[in-house]
Homo-oligomer: A and B are copies of this chain.
């Protein structure tokens, strides 16, 4: 079970981030490499892998973010004032994710989430000042006015299968492609555990009371920067009350349905989420438990 966006060989080299001399040396290292991007999307090179250039390719007005070390070499991404916020997702990125190996997508995810966070957090949320600057080699911003340090957000999200008598619940949001169904999901809120968030979301979205929440696995999701935590939970009954503002439809499926959907056979009950989505990993994991 290898979830999407995991397995990057990147050494994040935390010690370098806070060492100005080491960071300066990394930036002047002739072996240093720069992630090639088109806007905030990756540029794919040979064998559908990420493409890297030399630091000489950085734009004059760019700031450099230290992603970490690969094979001992410093690897950077550039932050440019004219970059589009990642909220404007291109269709191209999803086509690329169909071919990009998970460990390459994982390195890209770190870069994309970091860049997108900087683009949306140029001002200090504490005092409003625009005098904020890159901090810790790009893994934060510091306010020159009030001194507040800000760190990139990672938003924890629970994504789960409610299970009842050998069947699990899948649903679809209105924005999904036709026939796509997936596990239900929602953001963890302040003051709750993963297990409580799973129970709350299944109650709010589907009217299900659950017990026995179990964690399965996790992955990052860089649109813009979620931590997806996949769980299963036992539903007390299979009676649904759907929140139609969240879900267009939902139904219970058995293992034969999941098998057919993942095998993409014609006339399967639904189209599953793509392999790089943790809901795909979760459905495959559940199938294998049977």
Tell me which of A6, A139, A222 has the highest count of chain B C-beta atoms within 10 A of its own C-beta: A6
A156 touching B191 in the complex, CB below 8 Å, given contacts A14-B204, A124-B125: no
Interface size counted on chain A using CB atoms at 8 A: 58
Counting CB contacts under 8 A, is A271 at the interface? no
Name the interface residues of A137-156: CB closer than 8 Å to any CB of B.
Answer: 139, 148, 150-156
Counting CB contacts under 8 A, is A189 at the interface? yes
A123 touching B120 in the complex, CB below 8 Å, given contacts A12-B200, A113-B191, A218-B194: no
Residues 263-276 of chain A, each 1 if its beta carbon lies under 8 Å from chain B, else 0: 00000000000000
Q: What's the least CB distance linking A191 to chain B, in Å? A: 3
Q: Are A121 and B125 in contact (CB under 8 A)?
A: yes
Counting CB contacts under 8 A, is A8 at the interface? yes
CA separation between A14 and B243, bound complex, in Å?
A: 11
Q: Which of B111, B156, B191, B194 makes the CB contact (< 8 A) with A109?
A: B191
Q: Are A152 and B12 in contact (CB under 8 A)?
A: no
Q: What are 16 A-B pairs with beta-carbon distances under 8 A? A: A3-B193, A6-B192, A12-B200, A106-B192, A113-B191, A120-B126, A123-B124, A123-B126, A123-B127, A125-B150, A128-B128, A153-B153, A154-B188, A193-B217, A193-B220, A215-B218
Other than A156-B156, A188-B227, give 8 A-B pairs with Cβ distance below 8 A: A5-B191, A5-B193, A6-B193, A12-B200, A15-B204, A113-B191, A153-B190, A154-B156
